[in-house]
Amino acid sequence: MYNIMHLSQHDLYTGLIAVGIIAAALICIEIFVKNKWLNKLLGRKALHLSAICTCAWAISNFENRLLLAFIFAAFFFVLLWIIRKGWMQVNEYRTYGIALFPLAFAVLLFIPAFSNAIIVYAVLILGISDALAGVTGEYFGKQKIVFLSETKSWVGFAAFYISAFIISLFYFHHFSMQGILLCVLLALLPAVTELFSYRGSDNLTVPLFTAAWVLLVLNINNFQLLILSVSILFFAALAIFAFYKKWLTISGAVAACWMALLLYSTGGYKAFIAPGIFLVSGSLLSKLNKLQKEKDGRNAKQVFANGITGIVFMLLFAITQQQVYLITAIVSFCISMADSASSELGVYFKGKTYDILSLKKMPTGVSGGISVEGTLAGLVAAILLSFTAGLFYALSFGVFMLMAIAGFVGMLADSVLGSWLQVKYQTAAGILSDDALPNSQKVKGFNWCSNDSVNILSNILVTWLFFYIFLQLT
């Protein structure tokens, strides 16, 4: 039996050379920065470029792929420990980007569906395009936009996109008209992904989603390429319209476009059944309580909070073709739809609301509160979405029931976490609120835990629990 931990002489030399190159780059850049021959930003980006491109070379030359995955995973834990010690802090806030890129490489290497060629491409995009975007955005991007939590610029986006297009063109040797169009599309999703980062999280998300995107669209035929191109224009037009109508902010519109691209890549317009029902119903329900909605529309955090878990499972379904991932994706959208219906209709009917944990009366609309009307609305919404998606995908009645139950449980879990973790404030008059109103003070919860945090946490917890239970039942 083949020993996955076997280290050949070739792999030993490859690893030593890679570590040597990165160490030499680190020492040289430190000397340059210390002597002020290079500023800190350029030094940091130069190290980013040299280290990640060296990793790309190591991945393409290493023979024992699984061993290399374990090595990258080990580096993730070592670097995470170093960051927690505060030894590699580059900003006023702690960033985990330097630890997240080896984690991304480890995850890609562990998934057999991704060939080494696709992984190396994704790594090169991260190493080259991300570095160029950072430098260009810093020096030439005058207008900064907060897409998630970090400031980005359209100039930096353009630098990322153009460089990713050039890399795609030469890496895949696509110089025909159809090949050029394919490279235009290949570069798009990585560039958009880089806009959304939290404390260096793009070092994880860019290679992961880039590899998935390439795997799903690289070998499509000319007709499919044309349909994809038209679809992208259609998604962009819808996002612009939603921004114009103030349903979405700029960040929310771009996030919605990003999610639409990934959804389409997993199965065409058929993949929009469950999320489409949730989106339409959520938009209609939101009109019931207009005064409570943001005047400028939903931002990227809110869009991702309700959709990112389902998107990930749809991607896993497209990559593996295992139905359990599709079913779990539908469960994720059932949870979001049940939670949205419960919140909106609960507020609309103004029924008596109680804290789900303490059972004490509380104001309508505050996280953690439940009402009879809202709870029934959430149950009905979960049943409707699971039933419709179940019919469309020809799922059994038993699976339909499990999806509906999981959607309802996810809604309840959202209320539990909202009561337990979400920060809450109280005014001098004793009014409890999720928001820091004038003359109010914090009375419970954690500062980092917002409604968006609760939405995504409850969705992830319940969908993964469902995934595990479903595997045991089948």
The alpha carbon of residue 188 and the mean position of all alpha carbons in its chain are separated, in whole angstroms, by 16
Q: Which of 185, 364, 343 is nearest to 265 (CA)?
A: 185
Measured between alpha carbons, how far is residue 323 from residues 319, 383, 469 in Å? 11, 20, 14
Instruction: Assess contact for 308 and 257: CB atoms under 8 A.
Output: no
Judge whether 412 lies within some domain. no
**154-171 vs 177-186: helix axis angle to the nearest 10?**
140
Q: Tell me whether residue 194 is in a domain.
A: yes
In sequence order, what are the beta bridge partners of 433?
A: 425
Q: How many residues does the chain have?
A: 474
* Angstrom distance (rounded) from CA 261 to CA 256: 9
**Domain that residue 191 falls in:** 1-218
Q: What is the pLDDT of residue 94?
A: 66
* Residue bearing tokens 């999806």: 403
Instruction: Determine, yes or no, domain membership for 205.
Output: yes
| Residues linked to residue 427 through DSSP beta bridges, in sequence order | 440
Share of residues in the chain with pLDDT > 70 (%): 95
Task: State mean pLDDT over 259-278.
Answer: 89
DSSP-derived 3-state class of residue 443: strand
pLDDT, tens digit (0-9, with 9 covering 90-100), for 378-434: 999 999 999 999 899 999 999 999 999 999 999 999 999 999 999 888 887 777 888
Any domain includes 371? no
pLDDT at 290 over 70: no
In a domain, 372, yes or no: no
- Residue 332 resides in a domain: no
pLDDT at 293 over 50: no
Tally of domains in the chain: 1
Give the integer Cα–Cα distance in Å for 397 and 402. 9
In a domain, 192, yes or no: yes
- pLDDT tens digits for range 325-372: 999 999 999 999 999 899 888 888 888 899 899 888 888 878 888 999
Structural domain contains residue 154? yes
d(C-alpha 321, C-alpha 319), whole Å: 6
